[in-house]
Amino acid sequence: MARLSVSTVRGRFDTALTGAGFTRSRVVPELFGRNTDHLLPLSFAVAVPSTSLQDFDGRERYGTEGEALTTVEVKTAYRIRPDNQSGDYGSALDHEASVLTAVLGSINLSDMQVRPDGIPRRTVPSSGDWLISTITFSVYHRIDFD
């Protein structure tokens, strides 16, 4: 397995989603959804909150590379209309499934393994007009220490 930087892992998620017709957010992932004026329909942001070094095969190795487990969060927004909140909430849940399908169906898996972990957060900002979902993935890959 070749070495992949964390930015390359993040870029592959970004490419898979933009290729499926979703719109990349203009704000950093940590601010995604805080100001609903910046949201667009079917927009997303890819965050990488953590990377930890792993010992996948039971051997300790030191040097210029190693195994890594990177957590990737895809944050996505779905518009909730005031006159149909219940119906749009159901459509927003379907939207989450389409994001999962886009990632798992089209991401470049060479030199990495992707496992969906779930959707730990769904929030509606105080404006009440968006559902912000966070979909979490675990990515196993080799990383370069240089």
Looking at residue 55, its pLDDT comes to 67
Please indicate, yes or no, if residue 117 is contained in any of the structural domains. yes
Looking at residue 63, its pLDDT comes to 61
Looking at residue 133, its pLDDT comes to 95
Looking at residue 40, its pLDDT comes to 78
User: Which alpha helices (H) appear in 6-74, and where do they start and end?
Assistant: 6-19
Q: Count how many domains the chain has.
A: 1
Show Cβ contacts of residue 81 under 8 Å, excluding neighbours closer than 6 positions. Answer: 88, 129
Cα gap 64→108, rounded to integer Å: 24
Cα gap 116→96, rounded to integer Å: 12
Please indicate, yes or no, if residue 1 is contained in any of the structural domains. no
pLDDT along the chain (146 residues), means of 10: 90 96 91 78 93 70 76 95 92 95 92 95 88 96 79
CATH number, domain of 13, equals 3.30.70.1700
Q: Domain containing 15: what range?
A: 6-57+65-144
| 71 within 8 A of 136, measured Cβ to Cβ | yes
